[in-house]
A and B are shown apart, each in its own frame.
Chain A
Amino acid sequence: MDRKNKYVSVQETRAQITRDKLLKAAVDIVNKYGMKHFTVRNICDEAGLSTGSFYNLFESKDELVSYYLKYVFLSYKEKATQEAEPYNSIEKCLLIYRYYVACCKKAGLEFMSAVYAANTNPVFNFMDRTSDEELVLDRVREYIEEGKASGELRSDVGTDQILLNIASIVTGSIFYWCVFEGDVDIAYQVDNLLKTYLLTLAVDPALAVDLKELPHEGRFAVN
């Protein structure tokens, strides 16, 4: 959400306030009543706004959901970017997803189930969306390109192809986290499978991946 210039019009400020109100109402609805009551009508009632003002700002419920996720992820993303600084490109990718999974957990299972239930939501279309809409993959793309440039990653594999594989792993893991109602150690699963995949891209397959061990818990924990 880069601003082209620093002058923000009154209109834009007002829009931002309305957006925040709707967001707060949406979160309240989900937490109080569950996802079933998450409708545009209920959100607007809770926020004390007309559905007209909702549709001025959001195309649909799906868009609000992805806006929310982006909003929650923003602070995590900054932290992840800072922490990733001294690491190699594979570690960087793993780190940002550790933060993303933490953010998914914070947003809650109910919410995430709704986000990942919409495979036709344009928010998942990372090939065609604008960079404004990026959540994680914009940063991952940078890390991959960086890794190729520094010779850590093989340059004969297309970046889009790599992103598709990474996205499939993460999305698939979150999907089954929803299926098993949260009883899967999603952080460990994502991290482990991603690492397996990313190391196949390394020029040196013995490249050290030196990150904190993740605890292993829940249904698929070994021993």
Chain B
Amino acid sequence: MVQKNKYVSAQETRAHATREKLLKAAVSLVNQYGMKYLTVRNICDEAGLSTGSFYNLFSGKDDLIMYYLRYVFLEYKDQAIQEAENHNSLEKCLLIYRYYIRCCKEVGVEFVSALYAANTNPVFDFLDRNPEEALILDRVGEYIEEGKAKGEIRADVPTDVAMLRIATITTGSIFYWCTFKGDFDLAYQADDLMETYLRSIATNPNISIDLKELPREGKFSQY
């Protein structure tokens, strides 16, 4: 959501304020009553707005949830990009996902479950969506390209395929995190499986990956 220039119209400011109101209402609704009560009607009642103003800004409930996740992730993304600066491309991919998972945890398993239940949500279509809607894979695609240019990642691996594999691993892990209602160390799980994959496309499979060890906890941690 990069502003093309610094002048924001009054209309846009108002839209932004309304978006914030709806978001706040949605979060307080879920926290108070659970996900079942997250309907457009309830959100608007809670925010004291008409459903018309909701549909002016969002295409539906899924769209709002996605907006929320993107909103929370925005801050993390900057941090991740900064921290990634001095790392190799494999570490960069791992790092940004560590931040993404922190963001998922902050948003909470209820919200994330609702989002990852919508496999028909166009937002997951990372090949056709509008770049403004990209959450994380845009950056990962850049890291992969960078890795290829620097000779860290094999040049014969198509970037699309690498992105699909990485998306598969994280989405699959998040899916089961939802299934087990948050009772496993998602951060470790996704990191470990992704590292396995990334090494398989590295020019040198033994490339050093020097990131902080992740703690293990929850249902699958006995090993």
Number of inter-chain CB pairs below 8 Å = 116
Q: Which A residues between 112 and 132 are near B, CB-CB below 8 angstroms?
A: 113, 116-121, 124-125, 127
Contact with A along B99-137 (1 / 0, CB 8 A): 000000000000001001111110011010000000000
- In the complex the two chains form, is A113's CB within 8 Å of B119's CB? yes
Stretch at the interface among B14-22, B67-75, B85-93, B192-200: B192-200
Question: Which B residues touch A157, using CB under 8 A?
Answer: 223
- In the complex the two chains form, is A164's CB within 8 Å of B220's CB? yes
- In the complex the two chains form, is A168's CB within 8 Å of B189's CB? yes
How far is the CB of A186 from the nearest CB of chain B, in Å? 10
Question: Which A residues touch B164, using CB under 8 A?
Answer: 176, 184, 189, 220
- In the complex the two chains form, is A167's CB within 8 Å of B119's CB? no
- In the complex the two chains form, is A120's CB within 8 Å of B178's CB? yes
Secondary structure type dominating chain A contacts: helix
- In the complex the two chains form, is B120's CB within 8 Å of A113's CB? yes
Question: Which A residues touch B172, using CB under 8 A?
Answer: 167-173, 175
* A49 touches B (CB below 8 Å): no
Q: Of B171, B193, B219, which is within 8 A of A175 by CB?
A: B171
* A179 touches B (CB below 8 Å): yes
**Chain B residues proximal to chain A, CB less than 8 Å:** 113, 116-121, 124-125, 127, 158, 160-161, 164-165, 167-173, 175-176, 178-180, 184, 189, 192-193, 196-197, 200, 219-220, 222-223
**Chain A residues proximal to chain B, CB less than 8 Å:** 113, 116-121, 124-125, 127, 156-158, 160-161, 164-165, 167-173, 175-176, 178-180, 184, 189, 193, 196-197, 200, 219-220, 222
